[in-house]
Structure 1
Amino acid sequence: MVLSNQDIQKLIEENKIQINPAPNLEEQLGSASLDLRLGDEFAVFEHTKKAVIDTRNPESFNGMTRTIKIENDEPFVFHPGEFVLGVTMEEIFLPDDVAARIDGRSSLGRLGIVIHSTAGHIDPGFRGKIVLEMENIGMIPVLLYPKIRICQLVFESLMTPTTMPYYKKKNAKYVDAKHPQESKLEKE
């Protein structure tokens, strides 16, 4: 069941859904979603001489990015065709009976900005910042600023709490994420 604005606000006030820094609910709370803001770090893919990424060979896909940290309200210049990993400003803590889905915001989508390429599901028990798999599919560079509302979370209530929250999974590769991280496919 998708949670309404009232459900979301109640769970935040009861500290069952924890968000740090605390959101401005007047600005960030929608009818059935919560907007999250863009963080100040990006993992940018470098041009490489590698002819192919071999999903069975971690050496072929590790070390392909460099981290850019945006300072003093400077913009991140997001070029057409570019794929980068960003991160939300907010750190999220979900209880064992709430999952979430991340989606882009229509206003940015209309500029050609895609916020997640595949990983839209957030498991119950997730802890950390959400890594954004971003692409500019437009024709013009777009300036993105830290703290802009970049995506929205839609929360879903589970009928019963999961017995496998994300933070307890043996193979939880991205638990407690604080920065954009490259693929950890080799840990599967």
Structure 2
Amino acid sequence: MLLKEPQIIQLIKIGSISIDPFDVELQLHGSYIDLRLSDRFYRFPEDLQPEIQILDPENPYFNILERDYISEKGIVLEPGGFYIFETLEYVSIPENISIYLQPKLRLSRLGINLINTGWVEHGFEGNLTLCVHNVNSYPVRIFKNMPLVHIFFSKSEL
């Protein structure tokens, strides 16, 4: 069952769902909540190509993502670029609630593709990790605190 605004507000008030930071006026829109980008992101090093020609989960180089920060001027997502972002909001949901991720349409229109859309497990707690790919042939600038994804809540019976 997809939760609607009154149900979401009630679950937040009683502490079943926790989102921090959260501004109900800015982020709650009917049956979904907008989550924003933190200033943290990860990417593969630019000088990686001469050393590695294929990424392999069994290769020790697979875990060499570089952590970086989005400046006040934002970050330019290069055409074909792959980035891993974290949400600003820390989210906690109970064992009978799951989250569905959907990218913001205005960013999808710019060619920003959220690769890991779909369901987040019941009982999740933490900052969501968003895998982003610029499929546009143009660079796209995004900013910290910018809404990137909608989350919908679904309740199941225990």
TM-score > 0.5 by shorter chain: yes
- Structure 1's unaligned 5+ residue stretches are 161-188
AA partner of residue 152 (structure 2): V
**Contact 1:52-1:60 at 8 Å conserved across structures:** no
Structure-2 separation of matches of 1:54 and 1:24: 41
Q: TM-score, structure 1 length as denominator?
A: 0.78
Consecutive aligned runs of 4 or more in structure 1 exceeding 3 Å deviation: none
Identify the structure with the greater strand proportion.
2
Structure-2 separation of matches of 1:33 and 1:3: 8
Match of 1:54 in 2: 56
Match of 2:104 in 1: 105
Structure-2 separation of matches of 1:90 and 1:148: 12
Q: 1:109, CA displacement in angstroms?
A: 0.5
Q: 1:74, CA displacement in angstroms?
A: 2.5
**Contact 1:19-1:92 at 8 Å conserved across structures:** yes
Match of 1:154 in 2: 152
Match of 1:7 in 2: 7
Change in CA separation of 1:119 and 1:39 when aligned onto 2, cut-off 3 Å: same
Moved more, 24-33 or 84-93: 24-33
Match of 2:35 in 1: 36
Please give the secondary structure, in 1, of the residue aligned with 2:55.
coil
AA partner of residue 101 (structure 1): Y
1:125 aligned to which of 101, 123, 126: 123
**Contact 2:116-2:130 at 8 Å conserved across structures:** no
**Contact 1:41-1:68 at 8 Å conserved across structures:** yes
Q: 1:13, CA displacement in angstroms?
A: 1.3
Give aligned-pair identity as a percent: 28
Structure-1 separation of matches of 2:150 and 2:117: 14
Change in CA separation of 1:111 and 1:119 when aligned onto 2, cut-off 3 Å: closer
- RMSD (CA atoms): 1.4
**Contact 2:101-2:151 at 8 Å conserved across structures:** yes
- Structure 2's unaligned 5+ residue stretches are none
Q: 1:58, CA displacement in angstroms?
A: 4.1
AA partner of residue 123 (structure 2): G
